[in-house]
Chains A and B, each alone.
Chain A
Amino acid sequence: MNGITEIITAIFILIGSVISLLAAVGLVRLPDVYTRSHAASKSSTLGVLCVLTGTLLFFLMSDGYFSIRLILGIFFVFLTAPVAAHVICRAAYRNNAPVADTMVEDELKEYYELHPDYKKKSVVVEETTVQVED
């Protein structure tokens, strides 16, 4: 019983760590902001979910203790990491972040040219519109 618990926990935690390391390798090697954000958000989310699931199974099988806080942590990481990556990528696009040479087509650019209000970076200070420089 104890051996099976340790084997399952070790497999989950080792797989999660390796996936996190792959996410970091993608964060270092990929060419532009969007591909790096793609690698970092998805892979490190999956890695940390594997590690926390291993922790949950370890405490469930060795102590018989089902941790609600760990479930909440898993759920919260699963919910918030893609949202954070989305917000970061949108901020990078609105700041005209450089893209890689391998990009073929920018469909969002046409949309922004059609609706120029979305891209205008402006801050309203006391009823006067002040354009913010890049």
Chain B
Amino acid sequence: MFKTVLFISLCLLALTILLNLYRVVKGPTSADRIQALDSVGINLIASIGIFSVLFHTRAFFDLMLLIGILSFIGTIAFARFIERSVVIERDN
């Protein structure tokens, strides 16, 4: 029963990521695509949490933190790129 509920939750998260990928493909502006990819990263964190409950292991907690940090840095870098055409400005 417990594993069935976890499996249903994983299926819902897979459907969530598919809907986000629809927005990544279709999105009219690049801001839509960046927002959808950020949302995919956050949903991957949730999926890893469900997998670590399902397998009853603590080995994936580092991975959760790592995906969160990498997703945030990538989102900020892309948003800066579409906002002012450079990611790292030169000092002058």
Q: Interface on A for B, CB 8 Å cutoff?
A: 6, 9-10, 13-14, 16-18, 20-21, 23-25, 27-28, 33, 36-37, 40-41, 44-45, 47-48, 51-52, 54-55, 58-59, 62, 65, 67, 69-70, 72-73, 76-77, 80-81, 83-85, 87-92, 94-95, 97-98, 121, 123-124, 126-127, 132
Which residue of B has the minimal Cβ distance to A56? B49
Asked if B53 and A20 sit within 8 Å, CB to CB, the answer is no
Count of B interface residues, CB-CB < 8 Å: 52
Asked if B31 and A89 sit within 8 Å, CB to CB, the answer is yes
CB distance from A19 to the nearest CB of B (A): 10
Q: Interface on B for A, CB 8 Å cutoff?
A: 1-2, 5-6, 8-10, 12-13, 15-17, 19-20, 22-23, 28-29, 31-32, 34-36, 38-39, 42-43, 45-46, 49-50, 52-53, 56, 58, 61-62, 64-65, 68-69, 72, 75-76, 79-80, 82-86, 92
Interchain CB contact (< 8 A) of A85 among B35, B45, B69: B35
Given A36-B35, A37-B31, A48-B46, decide whether A88 and B75 contact each other with a Cβ distance below 8 A.
yes
